[in-house]
Amino acid sequence: MSRRDHTAIATFAGAALVGVVGGLWLARSVDRTQRDALFSKTAWRRHAALGYLEREGDVEAIGVLRDYLAWETQPALRSRGERALASLEAAFA
């Protein structure tokens, strides 16, 4: 392999590493946004937040979901919230 080949490989590997780190940072940022949107005015944000809590929720999320269920007025989102709460309660029981 020539020096030019080594440089090309190093450049590609560096760019791939930057892409992976940037993608992970962006994914975590979106997850935090979704988690914080549980009491949003927008229904689709609440839906996304419920999905996040169901996937990544901890014991503290159970209390937050109970508060959310007392607050939510849309039947479809209440049903999704109840499923998420049941899932978390089963996981931490």
Q: pLDDT (tens digit, 9 = 90+) per residue, 18-30?
A: 888 777 776 676 6
Is there a contact between 49 and 36 (Cβ–Cβ < 8 Å)?
A: yes
Check whether 34 has a pLDDT greater than 70: no
pLDDT at 29: 65
Tell me the C-alpha distance between 2 and 12, whole Å: 16
Q: What angle do CA 81, 62, 92 make, to 5 degrees?
A: 115
What domain range includes position 86? 3-91
Q: Find all residues with CB under 8 Å of 35, minimum gap 6, and list them.
A: 49, 52, 53, 56
Residue 17 confidence (pLDDT) above 90:
no
pLDDT band at 33, cuts 50/70/90? low
| Residue 43 predicted with pLDDT over 70 | yes
- Please state the domain count of the chain: 1
pLDDT tens, position by position, 65-75: 999 999 999 99
